Amino acid sequence: MVELSVIQIGSSLAIVLPEEVTTRLNATEGDSLFLVQEEAGYHLTAFDPELTHQVEMADEISNLYRNTLTNLPE
C-alpha cells in the first residue's frame, strides 16, 4: 500500500504520486491514468479499461472466425 498526498493547485485538488508508483505505472508528465471504480473501492491504472475490453472482444471474434478471416483475401 502506498499513501498518497492530496494538494491544492489553484481551485483544483491533485494527488501526488511517488516516483515508485509512476515507475510501476510507466507514467510520465502528460500521460493519462484511469481511476476505475470497483465494488471494494478504486483502482488506478495506466490502461484504458474500455479499450482493453474492446481488444479482448476483437481477439475473441478473430479466434471464433479464424478460418473465415484467413480466407477473406482469396
Q: In this predicted structure, what is the pLDDT of residue 54?
A: 73
CA distances from 61 to 5, 11, 39, 55, 66 (A): 43, 46, 29, 10, 8
Domain that holds residue 15: 5-71
Enter the pTM of the model: 0.57
Q: In this predicted structure, what is the pLDDT of residue 64?
A: 77
Identify the three-state secondary structure at position 16. Answer: strand
Count structural domains, the chain: 1
Q: How far apart are CA 19 and CA 36, in angstroms?
A: 21
Q: In this predicted structure, what is the pLDDT of residue 55?
A: 74
Q: In this predicted structure, what is the pLDDT of residue 70?
A: 74
Q: What is the CATH number of the domain that holds 19?
A: 2.10.260.10
Task: Give the tens place of pLDDT for each residue, 40-73.
Answer: 999 888 877 676 777 778 778 787 777 776 777 7
Task: Give the tens place of pLDDT for each residue, 20-29.
Answer: 999 999 999 9
CA distances from 33 to 13, 14, 57, 60, 64 (A): 16, 13, 22, 26, 32
Number of Cα atoms under 13 Å in the Cβ half of residue 31: 14
